[in-house]
Amino acid sequence: MDERGSQATFPPASGLWSELSYLVSKKQRALEKHADLQLYKSEQFKAASMQIPDAIVSLDQDNYIEWFNLPSQSMLGLRRQDRGRKVEGIIRQPEFIEYLKLTDYQDALILNSLQGKQRTFELKIISYFESHKLLVVRDITELYQLAQIRRDFIANASHELRTPLTVLKGYLELMQDMPGEQQLLWKTPLEHMENQSNRMQSIIEDLLILSSMESDSITAEASIVDVPEILQNISIEARQLGSDAHHIIFEITPNLKLQGHTEPLKSVFMNLVANAVRYSPEGGNITIRWYLDKEGAHYEVKDQGLGIAAEHIPRLTERFYRVDKDRSRVTGGTGLGLSIVKHALEQHGATLNVESVVGKGSFFRCDFPLDIVVQ
């Protein structure tokens, strides 16, 4: 109103003002529609998360609980009043607190008990939306038990096969020492039987090694592994295995060691060398390198053997997978060596890279991370 108390005059609702009013109103309706859509999607996501059987907990950058789904209440004992509390104050197990301090959550945490429940749980943290995190907890008790039954069966069966195989090998040795014409008559069949019994023994030994590695992630404490010393011993064994029929070259960086587990690493190094010797023709060059660069420590085995077709390379670490079954039987391969290599490397956070060209040879490289390198 003006000084006389009359109504102020506003621009008419036409022309430019009408157009502006329409555009503002349209923008406002669009924003409201977008907000409603986002709210609907948010509610839809929360409803879906409530139906997932795994416990899901959203944490902010300081690990305060923002929200959680229904299974978190039964699995972790969370209640509505726990929102806004630090998750470390609720899940107080030392292994979980140490896991929460990590910056790289690539690996999951396995616990055999959680919040007083004697079951097997897998805990995984997933980073999202800047510094926020999702804690996902799965009950894997049944899966773990099934895997344990399978591992126990393999181990027990392998142990049970050892006794009759030992008896069989004893009688074969006795028969090979038979005097006179009997020895000449049975010489070739007995040699074949001995070769196959030796191959069976190798399979049993490899199964036991693989079963031991799969049982868990190596319960023994890690120690400093003197890799150059291991490779020095392997160089002697490799030349014996090749009967001096190959040119074997070792290039070893001295004092380059690893923090890890000795026996599994021995299996890695020896299996790759044995494969190179086994599948390389006489007179071929085999080069073994152990060195360090800015990426980590590397173990390389390069041969001039038959090579491997590209379609076989992704399956090389599968149990009992053989590129050439007939050749494996002749050379004594069990089809388990690269499975052992794969499991041992995984336990040390390492990876296996394979390159090969048919008719020219193969190249195997094990890449170990810098955080386990010792100099």
Residues 6+ away with beta carbon under 8 Å from 310: 356
3-state secondary structure string across the chain: CCCCCCCCCCCCCCHHHHHHHHHHHHHHHHHHHHHHHHHHHHHHHHHHHHHCCCEEEEECCCCEEEEECHHHHHHHCCCHHHCCCEHHHCCCCHHHHHHHCCCCCCCCEEECCECCECCCEEEEEEEECCCEEEEEEEECHHHHHHHHHHHHHHHHHHHHHHHHHHHHHHHHHHHHCCCCHHHHHHHHHHHHHHHHHHHHHHHHHHHHHHHHHHHCCCCCCCEEECHHHHHHHHHHHHHHHHCCCCEEEEEECCCCEEEECHHHHHHHHHHHHHHHHHCCCCCCEEEEEEEEECCEEEEEEEECCCCCCHHHHHHCCCCCCCCCHHHHHHHCCCCCHHHHHHHHHHHCCCEEEEEEECCCEEEEEEEEEHHHEEC
- Distance in angstroms (rounded) separating the CA atoms of residues 284 and 40: 68
- Distance in angstroms (rounded) separating the CA atoms of residues 268 and 287: 16
- Distance in angstroms (rounded) separating the CA atoms of residues 85 and 209: 46
Give the burial class of 13: count Cβ atoms within 10 A of its Cβ; 0-12 exposed, 13-18 middle, 19 or more buried. exposed
Whether 347 shows a pLDDT value over 90: the answer reads no
143: left (phi over 0), alpha (psi -120 to 50) or beta: alpha
Q: What backbone torsions phi and psi does residue 67 show, to the nearest 5 degrees?
A: -160, 165
pLDDT tens sequence across 3-16: 444 444 444 555 55
Question: What does the pLDDT read at residue 236?
Answer: 81
Q: What backbone torsions phi and psi does residue 83 show, to the nearest 5 degrees?
A: -65, 135
Most confident of 48-52, 149-153, 259-263: 259-263
Q: What backbone torsions phi and psi does residue 129 show, to the nearest 5 degrees?
A: 45, 80
pLDDT tens sequence across 280-336: 887 788 899 999 999 999 999 999 888 888 888 888 888 777 776 555 544 555 677
Per-residue tokens: 152 = 């126990």
pLDDT top residue among 243 and 347: 347
pLDDT tens sequence across 210-243: 776 666 554 456 789 999 999 998 888 776 665 5
Question: What does the pLDDT read at residue 289?
Answer: 95
Contact 127, 61 (CB under 8 A): no
Question: What does the pLDDT read at residue 318?
Answer: 82
User: 361-369 and 296-303: which strand pairing?
Assistant: antiparallel
Question: What does the pLDDT read at residue 315?
Answer: 86
Question: What does the pLDDT read at residue 51?
Answer: 64
- Distance in angstroms (rounded) separating the CA atoms of residues 140 and 11: 71
Of all residues in the chain, the percent with pLDDT exceeding 90 is 26
Of all residues in the chain, the percent with pLDDT exceeding 70 is 80
Question: What does the pLDDT read at residue 19?
Answer: 66
Whether 124 shows a pLDDT value over 90: the answer reads yes
pLDDT top residue among 98 and 279: 98
Give the burial class of 173: count Cβ atoms within 10 A of its Cβ; 0-12 exposed, 13-18 middle, 19 or more buried. exposed
pLDDT category of residue 253 using cuts at 50, 70 and 90: very high
pLDDT category of residue 129 using cuts at 50, 70 and 90: confident
Strand partners, 343: none
Most confident of 113-117, 183-187, 207-211: 113-117
- Structural domains of the chain, with CATH: 49-139 (3.30.450.20), 141-216 (1.10.287.130), 220-375 (3.30.565.10)
Whether 269 shows a pLDDT value over 90: the answer reads yes
Contact 366, 351 (CB under 8 A): yes
Per-residue tokens: 45 = 């996501």
Whether 353 shows a pLDDT value over 90: the answer reads yes
As a whole number of Å, the end-to-end CA separation of the chain is 87
Question: What does the pLDDT read at residue 6?
Answer: 45
pLDDT tens sequence across 38-77: 665 656 556 555 567 888 898 999 999 998 888 888 889 9
Nearest to 205 by CA among 162, 234, 242: 162
Whether 34 shows a pLDDT value over 70: the answer reads no
Contact 340, 267 (CB under 8 A): yes
pLDDT tens sequence across 155-177: 777 777 878 888 888 888 878 77
Question: What does the pLDDT read at residue 82?
Answer: 92
pTM of structure: 0.57
pLDDT top residue among 5 and 250: 250
Question: What does the pLDDT read at residue 50?
Answer: 59
Average pLDDT, the chain: 80
